[in-house]
Structure formats: structure tokens, C-alpha cells
Structure 1
Amino acid sequence: MSDAIRAETVYVGDEKIQAYRAVPLGAGPFPGVVVIHHLPGFDESTKEMVRRFAANGYLAICPNLFWREAPGASPDDASAFVRGQGGIPDEQIIGDVRTAADALRGLTGDDGGPAHNGKVGVIGHCSGGRQALLVATALPLDAAVDCYGAFALEPPPAASGLKMTSIKDRLGDLSCPVLGLFGDDDKNPAPEEVDRLAAILAEHGKSFERHSYEGAGHGFFAPDRPGYRPQAAVDGWRRIFAFFDQHLGGKRLQVQEAGV
């Protein structure tokens, strides 16, 4: 499997939502992944994740959830503005992720580009982890990955200025299996909140594969932040690709099934 990719900024849907897309250079068909950026915004580290998925045989796209509120602004400025407004409404997030997923499903290969295999997963870190769970309760998805999603069960403290609400009453509507990756030293979500999340999903009969890492706190996947924990991040990426390969039909799973 080649790791050659094409990555670029695109505009998708009727509203021409700004998004960053990366695709393998090959016919496919390939599975799709929507990457939901964290509260710091549509930044370079998130775009690197999009490219990583493409290099591993996925059609990947990240919609800029802040494009309406701060068009043309830098990620830092856009994030600051959105924080000041209390965040992005949940229904708007759901709509933009739906548009991004539909853009992946629309890649048929008829134009000479790669084709989609019909399956779409979603992944998010921090606030994006909460939003990955959120959209999986509202959209027909095939797999979701929640990387230390904060404030899924309880709203953030009033001092934060964020207006997120609990999504625990939505969790019975989850459309797909969920992989959750967390740090034992995290405060948002703390291990006790992750325990509650697991219990709620179990009550609803939902598939929830959970892994927590000793010595890791919030943001352990981010190599440009003090909380980066290489061992946890490497193992986390391994689990992410194994999970998506299993539920989305990734190329590596096809290779294994063929006995190569």
C-alpha cells in the first residue's frame, strides 16, 4: 500500500464550508474519516492528523467549525473569538460534520480520483472528543473515537464561559461502536467521569472499547504540548487504526484477511 497522498483546503456542501482534506493517491475504494478539531481550532496539528489518516489508506477531512464566526482568522484568533461567544452550538456542529461526511461519500472515483467504500468514522480530541460522541448520536456513522473528550456528561464550569451542555441523554441514540482513549491523570474528563460514561453506554447496550494510560493527562497525543506522552500516543494511534480498520474496512485489514 502506497503512502502517497494529496492534501488541500477544499470547500464542501451548499454553504461551501472550509475544510482540509487528504486522500491517498490510488483508486480505492477507501474508507472515510471525519476529523473534528479541538477548541484551539483548525490548526496545523489537526491537519497533520488528517494527512496521517490519508497516508494509512483513509479518505480524511476536517471541517473548519469556526469558519462562519471568524472567516480568514488565524486558528488562535478564531479560537479566542469562539471561546468568547461560548463555543459553537451543537446542532451547527452536527450539520457541518454531516456535510463533511457527505463530501467523503460523494467521492465516487468517476473523476479519476479515489473512491469511497461507503463507510465513515469520526474522531476528535478534547472538545472534539465530546463532539465525536455528539455527532455519533445524530448521524449514521460506522465508528467513533473519543480521545479524552471533555464535558460530555457535565457542563463546563461557569467561569470558562463555554456554553456546552451535557449529551448524556443522547447517548442511547449512538449509531456505532466507540473507542475511548483517556489519561489517568486527566481532570477533564477525570477517570471517575469516564467510569460513568462507560456505565451509561453499557446501560444502553452500546459497544464501548476503553483504554486509559497511567501517567498521562489531557492532551497526551499532542507532540507540540507539554502533556505529550510518547508511549501513550504511540499505543493510542495503534488502537485507533486497528479500530477503524475493523469497523470501516481499512486496507490493512484487507491485507491481513488476504494473508499477505
Structure 2
Amino acid sequence: MSYDAVLAETVGIRGHGDDLVEAYTARPMAPGPRGGVIVIHHMPGFDRATKEIVRRFAVTGYDAICVNLYSREAPGAEPDDAAATARAQGGVPDERFVGDARAAARWLRDLPTSNGRVGTIGYCSGGRQAFLTAVEVDVQAAVDCYGAFVVGRPPEGFPLQVAPLAHRVPEVAAPLLGLFGNEDAHPSPAQVDELEKLLQENGKSVEFHRYDGAGHAFFAVDRPAYRPEAAVDGWRHIEAFFATHLGA
């Protein structure tokens, strides 16, 4: 029988500005080498559902880590309270996120089981940050799950106040998989089409999938937005994409 145990635990890593930040990690208890995955949590924060995704990647055969991007705003707070604090401040600054993502990639590569290849996946605000990771961080694959405002700006009063990233498409340095719901408003189908066209025109490796009857957060099993058919098909694409670019 194969050995299928995993180790999951919360650790501290040195993130942007050498700050000590909280991170949830999961690893197969089997010899490597293998790829690593940076999981970027959604706007609701560093919650139980996000940690389940981290463990899922470990079960699939990857070392995985998710940094609590709200560690500084609300240390020790419950996810909902930390997310509310971060929303009130307009979200996580891009520069700080990039520093934390680089630290997560370094943590993965420092593991004795690492094969040197790292991918990233993000949901909601994390989808936009996954795109940013493909620009700023040494990763070999990136997955954007319905990330808003890569193209276009947030409307006035929206809890996430960030600048668009479309002008940085020429800098994307990793293959990009995108998964989107056609009933979503942020990003809208038109914005998804615009981003895909920009990536294609710049010769980037891009694979986008769109789902009818699905809106924002269709992967979120604990929310009314969950759409099983779209989520199951999306996970199939994610697993194939990472197997290709990170090693099965």
C-alpha cells in the first residue's frame, strides 16, 4: 500500500519587510521531490475553507502553503473580523502581498522535498494576486479563480480598492489558467474576454474556462454561490495544469 499521510500545521515565516506572519502549511509525509503550491486566500480571509484547499493539494501530492495576508491588520482575530478590518483599509497593498508571496515561494523551495518548481492559485481577490504573482515572483504556473480588477477598476465604495494590472500583461512570466463564472460581475465576462485577448496578443501561455450558471465564488463549498458542476470541472483543469507545469 502507498503511504498517504499528510502533515498540516500553522507556522511563522518572514514575509514582506521581514515581518513574522502566520501561514498554514500541508505536506505529504512521503519522500520527494515534488512541486509546491502557494494558495492565496479569498477576500473573506484565512478561513477553514481555505485551509481545506491547502490540505487538498497535499493529498494530491504537493507541498502547499497559504500566508494569512491579514496577519498584520488583525493578529489572532477570527477570519471574519480580520477580513472586515482589511476591507476597511481597501485590501492588502500589492507591494506587501508580493513580499509575502516571495517568502512563501522561498519556504517551499527550502523544503528538502522540493523539486524547485512552484505554482500559485488564488480565489476572489486572491485571483488577482495570483496574476500579480505570475508577474513579480518566480513561479512556474499560476491559476486565477475569478480574480477581479486585473482589468478595470473597482467601483466607488467597493471594499477592495486596487489598481488594474492589465498594463503588466507583457511581464507575465508563467503559464496562466483562468476559471470564471459567466454570471459574475467582478470580473464580468467582458473583462475576462479583454484579459484573455491581451494575454494572447502578448504571446502568453493562457488557458481560460468559463461556466454558465456560475457566478463569483463557485468553488466555495460553504457558500450559496457553490456550483458543483463548475467546481468539479474546474478542479479537473487545475490538477491537470499543475501536473503539467509542476510535476505530477
- Structure 2 counterpart of 1:97, one-letter code: A
**Percent of counterpart pairs with the same letter?**
57
State the distance in 1 between where 2:151 and 2:118 align: 25
Matched pairs, number: 244
- Counterpart CA distance in 2 for 1:3 and 1:228 is 28
1:127-146 counterparts in 2 under 5 A?
127-146=125-144
SS at match of 1:117: strand
The answer on 1:72 being equivalent to 2:70 is: no
- SS in structure 1 of the partner of residue 157 of structure 2: helix
TM-score by length of 1: 0.92
Distance in structure 1 (CA, Å) of the matches to 2:194 and 2:71: 34
Q: When the two structures are superposed, what TM-score results if normalisation uses the length of structure 2? A: 0.96
- Residue 3 of structure 1 pairs with residue 1 of structure 2: no
Distance 1:208 1:237 in 2: 17
**How far off is 1:202 after superposition?**
1.0
Partner of 1:159: 157
Distance in 2 (CA, whole Å) between partners of 1:2 and 1:216 is 37
Code of the residue aligned with 2:195 in structure 1: it is L
CA positional deviation for 1:161: 4.2
Q: For residue 182 of structure 2, what is the aligned residue in structure 1?
A: 184
Task: Select 1:31's aligned residue among 35, 51, 69.
Answer: 35
Gap runs ≥5 in structure 1:
109-114, 251-260
Asked if 1:81 corresponds to 2:79, the answer is no
Aligned to 1:111: none
- Aligned equivalents of 1:234 and 1:123: distance in 2? 16
Question: Structure 1 stretch 153-162 or stretch 20-29: which is displaced more?
Answer: 153-162
Is the CA contact 2:133–2:142 (under 8 Å) kept in the aligned structure 1?
no
Do the aligned residues in 1 keep the contact of 2:4 with 2:30 (CA within 8 Å)?
A: no
| Inter-CA distance 2–195: structure 2 relative to 1 (3 Å threshold) | farther
Letter in 2 for 1:207: S
Cα RMSD after superposing both structures: 1.0
Q: After the TM superposition, which parts of structure 1 deviate over 4 Å for at least 4 consecutive aligned residues?
A: none
Cα distance in structure 1, aligned partners of 2:186 and 2:4: 35
Q: Secondary structure at the match of 2:207?
A: strand
Supply the distance in 2 between the matched residues of 1:71 and 1:243 (Cα, whole angstroms): 34
Counterpart CA distance in 2 for 1:6 and 1:30 is 15
Q: What amino acid does structure 2 have at the position aligned with 1:12?
A: I
